[in-house]
Every structure is written in C-alpha cells, then in structure tokens.
Amino acid sequence: MAETLGTYAQNHVDLLKKSDYIDPALYEDYGVKVGLRDAGGKGVLTGLTNISQIVATKFIDGKKKPCDGELWYRSHEINELVNGLGDNLGFEKIAYLLIMGVMPNDDELAEFKTILGEARKLPPHFVRDIIMKAPTGDIMKSMMRSILAYSYYDTNALDTSVGNVLRQCIELISTFPLFAAYAYHSYNHYKKGGSMYIHMPDPKLSAAENLLSILRPDRQYTPLEAKVLDTALILHMERGGANLKFISMMGDIREHVNDCDRDEVAAYVEKIVNKEAFDRTGLIYGMGHAVYTLSDPRERILKEYVKLLVREKGMEDYFALHENIEAVAPAIIAKARNMPRPPAPNVDFYSVRFITCSTCAKLFVPLTRASWLNPTNERLQPTKSRPVSDCRRARIFVQNVARPDTVHARRNCRDVCRQNFYRPEGELVCRVAQLYA
C-alpha cells in the first residue's frame, strides 16, 4: 500500500506543479513578500514590538548608513546586560526582563527562579508515553509533538487571557529543555543503540545547569560550560536561528583543508562559493544576516566565550578553522556576488562550536529554540487593529512616548522613519534606529 501510494504521488508531481504554479513576477506586482527577506535581501516588516530592537543602520548627515549591530532587550543594550552579569548565570534574570518589561530586584528574581524550578517537570508517564514513542533524529519534530501533546494536560489550553498565557509561557520556558534533552536520549537509545538514562531536573539549578546535568550520564559539567550555555541561551532569546547545514559544512571543510592553513581554507571556501564543493548551493552558512549589516553583536559576544571553552576542552584547532573562515569568507562572498560590503558572521558561526563542544550536533537547533521567549502577551494587548502575524526578525521596534501634538512633530517622525507609523488611536510613535537619540 505504501509503495503504491508513493508511486501514485510521484506520478502526479508534474500535474501539481503545473496547476499550482504562480509567476514569481506577480509577487512583485502585488507587493507580496516571500519568506524572511525581500528581493534585495532586507528583512520583511510584519509587525510592531517594544520587547527587543535591532539597530543595523544609523542616520548620518541625513543618510542611512550601515553600522556595527546593536541588540536591545527592553531598552537595555545586550553587551551591558551580559557584562553586568559578571560570573553569575543570567538566563532567568533576562527572561524576567523580556517578559515583564522591567529588571527584577533580588526578591523578584528569587521568586521567579523558584516558579521556574517548580514548573520544570513533566506530567507522570509523559516521557514514556509521548517522547519515547516513535523517536526521531529530528529533535525539533519530537519537540513539536511534545508541545502539542502537552496541551492536552492543560485544562485551560484555549484561554487566551493575558494571565493564562503568561502561565503557559513560563511553563514552556521551563519544559522546553526537557523536551529537547529527553527526545535526544530516546533517539540515541532506540536509533543509535546508546544507553538510556533519564535524569530528573533539579529545581535549585538554573536552566543552563539543568540542561547540562540532564544530558550527561554522570551529570557533571564545569562552571565555564554552564556560563557559556547560559550566555548562548540569552543571546538566542532574540529569536536567533540556527542552521544545521552549518555543521555539515564545517565537517566538509575539515575533511579537505588543514585547520590552521588560511590559504587552504580560502581556496576551499572559494570552491564552495563557486558551487564547486560541498552542497553546490554557493552558500557559506553562518555568514550574513537579514538585518545586521556590519556585524552581529551576538556573534562577537559568543566568540569570546567560546574561545575560553575550546581552550578548556583542548579544541583550539577547531577554533582556528572558524577564525580562518571568518577572515577569508566575507571578501570571497562579496567579490563573487558583487556585494557593496562583505557579509559579517552571524550568531550561528560560533554557537554551533559551543553546542558540539558541550552537547551534541543534534541539539544545536533545539537548544537555540528552547531559549525563545514567546511574545504572545504583546500581541494580546487591546488594540483597534488586528495583531500582525509574528515573523522572525520582522517586527519594528516602537516605544511608548508622548503623542505628537503638532503637524511639525508628526512630519519630523515621518522624515526620520521614512514611513508614517503615527497611530491616532494610541500613544505609539515608531522609533527606528534611535529616532530620538
């Protein structure tokens, strides 16, 4: 039956392609954007947010020019947030900031950590009945199945009130790492023949510490591993992605070059860009970003932490290869594609090295997704307009400010923003690239 159905489906592929074909030119005619970027490679705008802000350009002498990237969480610059943590783990603190909109004091943070710790558990038999059944190497699919099944254990799953959605968000923040780790253990046992062990989370440990503890058979990890994972989770709260192709590409490059020979690396990278090697797409994964122009601040932060970690692990040769690719790839890509400026490495470029140092490649994407914070509450607030569908890296930052009272003020906002986002029914005036700096 399966073979007959498969053959039937393949025999009708051409018919479906012909019936459902849409001329690509029509997307431009109707102003419809496809995916995360427009034809010029820029991020597609689909909504408004006051949770996070990306600054990739600044107005200098009336002209918009690219700049080193900035990432702001609730008006706090990411470098200041990370540096302000010192040696302390900060995922929970920054999670509170993004969700609640304010930085917690000591008592509020302690209470929030307690709540997260108590919520970091799954219903009885959930691991056996849901996660361990039909395991797959695609951990993301397993996590999606777990999330759907988890909703059946929620007696208020369809209640979209702000308070209930906040409860659901906190539960998911706590349980996402469990979904990912247990899915990996099931895959490793049933598909790869590895040992099966299911560790229970410790409510007294942080999210990063619990992840490492649950993944390791002996539950051991170093303080540096916990700090780097904690930082990676914070940086990926911005909904940064993760591309599994990057792992495959790095493995392919290592097979063909000497890690420390920059000339060899440059020659092979050029082959990849010219579609003569690897997957023949011409793409160097981990290079470029839909919004950031000159640099991705998350990549710069994580690079310094990963540098410490590879030293602890004795994996300096791996790091040397990353640095060599970072040094040669931008110019090669820019030359091959006639780009006005070389692309900069994005956060994937070094986050993959941490994941493969401390966990495993299969968990690269799931762990970055596990740190996403659901912005649903923002879109549930009362408004006269319909909430815009969420799209990664596609919402413009707004800030609550006094409504302009004069035509001149509104015209000034239009001139700076290049669009008139003034909304008479609210108190929102768009702030793009430090509008009121």
Question: Does one domain contain both 194 and 329?
Answer: no
Q: How many CA atoms lie within 13 A of 392 on its CB side?
A: 15
Question: Does one domain contain both 215 and 262?
Answer: no
AA letter at 39: A
Number of structural domains (the chain) is: 2
- Indicate whether 7 belongs to any domain: no
Task: Answer whether residue 12 shows pLDDT above 60.
Answer: yes
Question: Does one domain contain both 231 and 251?
Answer: no
Q: Say what the pLDDT of residue 436 is.
A: 27
- Indicate whether 344 belongs to any domain: yes
Structure tokens at 147: 């999330």
Question: Does one domain contain both 162 and 256?
Answer: no
pTM: 0.80
pLDDT in tens, 340-396: 999 999 988 888 766 666 666 567 566 665 555 544 455 555 443 333 333 344 556
The answer to whether the CB of 189 falls within 8 A of the CB of 207 is no
- Indicate whether 274 belongs to any domain: yes
- Indicate whether 309 belongs to any domain: yes
- Indicate whether 409 belongs to any domain: no
Question: Does one domain contain both 174 and 291?
Answer: no
What crossing angle do the helices spanning 91-100 and 106-119 adopt, rounded to 10°?
100
AA letter at 43: G
Out of 173, 203, 238, pick the residue that ends a domain. 238
Confidence of residue 290 (pLDDT cuts 50, 70, 90): confident
Question: Does one domain contain both 176 and 259?
Answer: no
Question: Does one domain contain both 229 and 267?
Answer: no
Question: Does one domain contain both 102 and 233?
Answer: yes
The C-alpha atoms of residue 203 and residue 184 are separated, in whole angstroms, by 21
Flag the least confident range among 63-72, 216-225, 324-333, 375-384: 375-384
Question: Does one domain contain both 110 and 197?
Answer: yes
**For the residues 165-170, what does the mean pLDDT come to?**
88
The answer to whether the CB of 139 falls within 8 A of the CB of 363 is yes
DSSP for 42-57?
Answer: PBPP-EEESSEEEEEE
- Indicate whether 260 belongs to any domain: yes
- Greatest alpha-carbon pair distance for the chain in Å reads 71
CATH number for the domain spanning 123: value is 1.10.580.10
Q: Say what the pLDDT of residue 361 is.
A: 59
* Domain carrying residue 318: 244-369
> How long is the chain?
437
Out of 316, 344, 369, pick the residue that ends a domain. 369
Helix/strand number for the chain, H first, E second: 19, 6
Out of 181, 212, 238, pick the residue that ends a domain. 238
Exposed/middle/buried for 207, CB within 10 Å: 0-12, 13-18, 19+? buried
Taking alpha carbons only, the member of 110, 91, 97, 115 closest to residue 203 is 115
Question: Does one domain contain both 118 and 185?
Answer: yes
Question: Does one domain contain both 101 and 187?
Answer: yes
Q: Which residues contact 229 (CB under 8 A, 6 or more apart)?
A: 208, 211, 212, 354, 358, 367
Q: What percent of the chain has pLDDT over 90?
A: 52
pLDDT in tens, 71-90: 999 999 999 999 999 999 99
Q: Answer with the residue of higher pLDDT: 152 or 355.
A: 152
The answer to whether the CB of 36 falls within 8 A of the CB of 290 is yes
Structure tokens at 33: 């954007």
CATH number for the domain spanning 250: value is 1.10.230.10
Question: Does one domain contain both 187 and 261?
Answer: no
Where do we find the tokens 């410490």? 308
Task: Answer whether residue 35 shows pLDDT above 60.
Answer: yes
The answer to whether the CB of 333 falls within 8 A of the CB of 274 is no
- Indicate whether 212 belongs to any domain: yes
Q: Say what the pLDDT of residue 2 is.
A: 54
Residue 140, sorted as left (phi over 0), alpha (psi -120 to 50) or beta, turns out to be alpha
**For the residues 307-326, what does the mean pLDDT come to?**
89
- Indicate whether 288 belongs to any domain: yes
